[in-house]
Chains A and B, each alone.
Chain A
């Protein structure tokens, strides 16, 4: 079962930062936070992941609270192409290493 809670939908103006929250209050010490997104009619796409430190890559930043019970994905300058469903996933890097998806947040970027 998914171990995360996300708002079902959010809006963001083009060019502004999109901040997508995720609650994972039952996360364990060896569990990572992963973010994927799914644009309509495509498979999910990896964005970023982290354990306890904040992370940044060319797509986004990931801010994890000190107690690790929540995190925020930041898209610094949202574009229309960022309109997608964003999934926050808690993953234990053992055995099959599968991802368990929840229902995600549908982000709509408007002009």
Chain B
């Protein structure tokens, strides 16, 4: 199965530390999305890449958050100086180029900030 892969599955950190998550999309997919999900809520859009270009960022993405997709393949999401409010599931999705294509989601990284 060559679905969307996210690592790590779980991350526990102390407030103030930096964390980085990785997403490996389906290999032929040019589009990559990051979402955040808190308990009882639907996923919230954070940012979007078309190949290596970051084309949209949500207002939810504060200056402490940065995402990269250096060669248009895997992507990383870094959170600096984590806060307890950053505790959430971080989901990555990918899709082929083309309007209306299905998004394929990974299983996410669960972040707990103590």
Contact = CB atoms under 8 A, between A and B. Distances in A.
Chain A interface size band reads 20 to 34
DSSP class of A's interface residues: helix, strand, loop or mixed? loop
B65 interface: no
A28 interface: no
A99 interface: yes
A99 B45 contact: yes
A73 to B, nearest CB: 16
A43 B4 contact: yes
Interface stretch (A13-21, A63-71, A76-84, A88-96): A88-96
A103 interface: yes
Contacts of A85: 42
Interface of A: 2, 32, 41-46, 49, 85, 87, 91, 93-104
